[in-house]
Structure 1
């Protein structure tokens, strides 16, 4: 028979409680999204019960809360954070938090995505609360302790820092240590100076970043996938404009090489990394290879990586090395040699490369075709933290393509030139990427060389919290006035 709204909500709560596998997390999220909009006690209890599970229903509930932005969830979320990362007492003689051993390592390592979900949900709900400077100071002080305690978990710490920046009301810089110290100094003076916070300059500052970078962008976390476009157009000559834009991101050069400081600073820079030999950079592929080499050279052996090479087809650069590969000197040399010898093909399978990158896991066996990388527990817990994605073109092929069809992006085109698959165009790729990454929370940093789909690379980076580097030589994109270029 029929049932009223409350009966439905109770049944909904029962279904949510019964969800035990990660494969059901998306279904749980859809149910939770409906419950999060409910105003009654029964609907709220569904969410509260999910938040108490320490498992997949909690992850689904946090995503629903994050998208809803309801500030009434701030206190429950914050209490769960404090339960996951126990807050130590502050020293009475010091304005900065003191640290003790109250760190819930067991919870964090059991499912780090719960901590990420808590920080993301807090960042979207707290700003909707009524302003209260005293309360905000207290929350930020405790969050500094959380961020400090998370020192060994830089992937989770990134989301904590992003949440901190959102609550404090300023733009998050590339290196959160800068504004963290600045904030502590301001708190010692009993004030929060928002205007004094340094802002991210998009990565163009010539400040040295420790560890590996790709085109100047540091990874978040230790598991990294690099996707390299090896389509035929990568063999085209790289323009002087692109070279000049890239040189600005090459790294710090201080001193003039003459007199005091110059020679010493250049020697330090030489020791930091091998510079790009621009005399050898003739094609877009040459530039991609050079950046790839620098990235691997800067990886210490506590990083793990793999490489996807894509054109018409997409596959691991070395199909025999599945899973993440430890960044030993031997492994790095092996992959650098493979990239040096890579052969280009014709089409550009952007969606296929994304799927391959998301299928890589730490257990040595990548996901099969029948496993969904958006909800597989192996992918969620041992997949990539950061993907570096480089292309020089537009999507023209996908894994489900069989034949060619006319490209609708070219108004006067009559000749079949792109695949007939479902994931060729920007809007289709982005829609599926958002679905795939809803719970994965992979940071995707994108690089576009020459004439490429700039809005696609921009959107992939923005949707994931990553950065986009535009090496097209064109005027910067204007997000307030989006136009195809």
Structure 2
């Protein structure tokens, strides 16, 4: 019943545009080949009973940029299945012609259903349809729906619309942290120097995710007024924010005193007395070109934690470890691993040894958890726990008990709560990542539901994700589907994801996962 009402509301809104809009649609089929593809879609789509065939049919229309295709896909935005909806959004977002997307601008303000509005806003933003900017700015005056406000902010950022800055300023005062984050991200995309003073107050926002977004915006826009608040953030208990603030200070001032708050205060007071002005963007670019590229910055920070060569100042972290059947295999590059003091050259034994060493060195003010995965997912604890001596001992004992899933090796003890069998030894990367975000591993989340979620209880800010192979089971196994889903979720979580690979396989998925989520990728070897 709800689907029927939603469908009628959407389609009635389209038809309400009147004969002019309908004729514009009809005249869009100049390219007969495109029109024929749409006709074939209409003919066969209803005959498909399984979701996979429906999604494949929808994706055939990707790039078929004509009004008929938009009209055919429009009703699918109301489908009950979020994967069908996502496929339709993805395909319509591939259209760019004004005659194809233009009618949406008249429909959008008239839609009463907030889900319909937020989906159309997402489409226009992803399509880069800059003609939508005036309509979206106007909607912000009265819009109350949080996901729609988030979508509008992101779209205006994608458009790099400088006229949107006063409208985004209102969103910086919104009660929902998701909206404040989206507005800051948009200002970072627009990079208008005049917006700098709007960003600075958010460096003291009560939500750490908003503070992180404000640090990024201040760093990108390069705001001199942000220097002193950023120095204050060097005293943050949230270790990752301290690192981000230090990096921002370097990029704004071209001075580098690491995360030493006392030194920054002393030197900044001296520079202020000399009426110091930060270097221009052009000057900074010239200076950077002269420096040695990719010089590691992490070495300058104190109180760091290192796992498999990745160093972090985070104090709230999750280790996600692959224990699929292939982790029983031996590494090929034995010369590389022979000095590591490992019990054997088995991949999981190497991983366990490194994780145990890291856990043993965690500081008492760090909170952590461990999640092991194969086909199924099993966490050590239900939430992050303090790294006191008892929890470290318990974690080390649990890690030692882990064995590769799948066909049982002689004497192997399956992970608690799991049993053997080849079917259980696959690599469910999507499920593990969803569980890491605190979501159900067997269900793709709806973006609107994610947007409406409050602040995560654990305040997790860093994930270490280790695997030895490509995804082979779970809701999604396609690399692009997994990457897209993680990007959507992480827009609102701001979690850094570091990835570690071990073994022989195509590692571009793990490298891209880290790159898209602010992390580092490390290849331990074959």
Instruction: Name the TM tier (shorter chain).
Output: 0.5 to 0.7
- Quote the Cα distance in structure 1 between the aligned partners of 2:498 and 2:133: 45
User: Residue 120 of structure 1 is aligned with which of 200, 207, 216?
Assistant: 216
What is aligned with 1:328?
A: 388
Q: 1:239 is paired with a residue of what secondary structure?
A: coil
In the TM superposition, what are the counterparts of 1:13-412 in structure 2 within 5 Å?
Answer: 13-16=140-143, 18-19=144-145, 24-25=146-147, 27-36=148-157, 37=159, 43-53=164-174, 55-56=176-177, 57-66=179-188, 69-72=189-192, 74-81=193-200, 83-84=201-202, 107-108=205-206, 111-126=207-222, 138-139=224-225, 141-142=227-228, 145-148=231-234, 150-168=235-253, 176-177=259-260, 184=267, 194=287, 201=295, 210-240=303-333, 243-244=336-337, 277-278=341-342, 280-316=343-379, 318=380, 321-345=381-405, 346-359=425-438, 374-375=450-451, 377-378=453-454, 380=456, 382-398=458-474, 400=475
Instruction: Let me know the Cα RMSD of the aligned residues.
Output: 4.1
CA contact (8 A) 1:231 1:347 kept: yes
CA contact (8 A) 2:464 2:499 kept: yes
Q: CA, structure 1 residues 295+203, in 2 after alignment: closer, same or farther (shift >3 Å)?
A: farther
Q: 2:312 is paired with a residue of what secondary structure?
A: coil
Q: 2:391 is paired with a residue of what secondary structure?
A: helix
CA contact (8 A) 2:181 2:209 kept: yes
CA-to-aligned-CA distance 1:121-179 (integer Å, 9 cap, x gap): 233334xxxxxxxxx7x45753652443x443323223323333443569x99x6559x
CA contact (8 A) 1:237 1:282 kept: yes
- Quote the Cα distance in structure 2 between the aligned partners of 1:112 and 1:286: 36
- Quote the Cα distance in structure 1 between the aligned partners of 2:226 and 2:153: 29
Q: 2:307 is paired with a residue of what secondary structure?
A: coil
Q: Which has the higher contact order (CA 8 A, sep 6+)?
A: 1
CA contact (8 A) 2:510 2:521 kept: yes
User: Residue 427 of structure 1 is aligned with which of 480, 502, 505?
Assistant: 480
In the TM superposition, what are the counterparts of 1:432-471 in structure 2 within 5 Å?
Answer: 432-471=485-524
Q: Which has the larger radius of gyration?
A: 2
CA contact (8 A) 1:386 1:444 kept: yes
- Quote the Cα distance in structure 1 between the aligned partners of 2:265 and 2:333: 39
- Quote the Cα distance in structure 2 between the aligned partners of 1:185 and 1:281: 52
CA contact (8 A) 1:391 1:452 kept: no
Q: 1:469 is paired with a residue of what secondary structure?
A: strand
CA contact (8 A) 1:220 1:443 kept: no
- Quote the Cα distance in structure 1 between the aligned partners of 2:292 and 2:465: 28
CA contact (8 A) 2:368 2:385 kept: yes
CA-to-aligned-CA distance 1:261-282 (integer Å, 9 cap, x gap): xxxxxxxxxxxxxxx524x232
Q: Aligned residues, how many?
A: 365
Instruction: Select the structure that is richer in helix.
Output: 2
Q: 1:359 is paired with a residue of what secondary structure?
A: coil
Q: CA, structure 1 residues 239+459, in 2 after alignment: closer, same or farther (shift >3 Å)?
A: same
- Quote the Cα distance in structure 2 between the aligned partners of 1:202 and 1:210: 16
What is aligned with 1:252?
A: none
Q: CA, structure 1 residues 121+204, in 2 after alignment: closer, same or farther (shift >3 Å)?
A: closer
State the TM-score, normalized to the length of structure 2: 0.59
The answer to whether the aligner puts 1:12 opposite 2:139 as a matched pair is yes
Structure 1 segments unaligned to the other structure (5+ residues)? 86-103, 127-135, 248-275, 361-365, 401-422, 474-485
Q: 2:465 is paired with a residue of what secondary structure?
A: strand
Q: 2:492 is paired with a residue of what secondary structure?
A: coil
Q: CA, structure 1 residues 154+232, in 2 after alignment: closer, same or farther (shift >3 Å)?
A: same
- Quote the Cα distance in structure 2 between the aligned partners of 1:203 and 1:214: 16
Residue 116 (structure 1) shift: 1.3
- Quote the Cα distance in structure 1 between the aligned partners of 2:327 and 2:442: 30
- Quote the Cα distance in structure 1 between the aligned partners of 2:133 and 2:142: 14
CA contact (8 A) 2:154 2:183 kept: yes
State the TM-score, normalized to the length of structure 1: 0.64
Residue 75 (structure 1) shift: 3.5
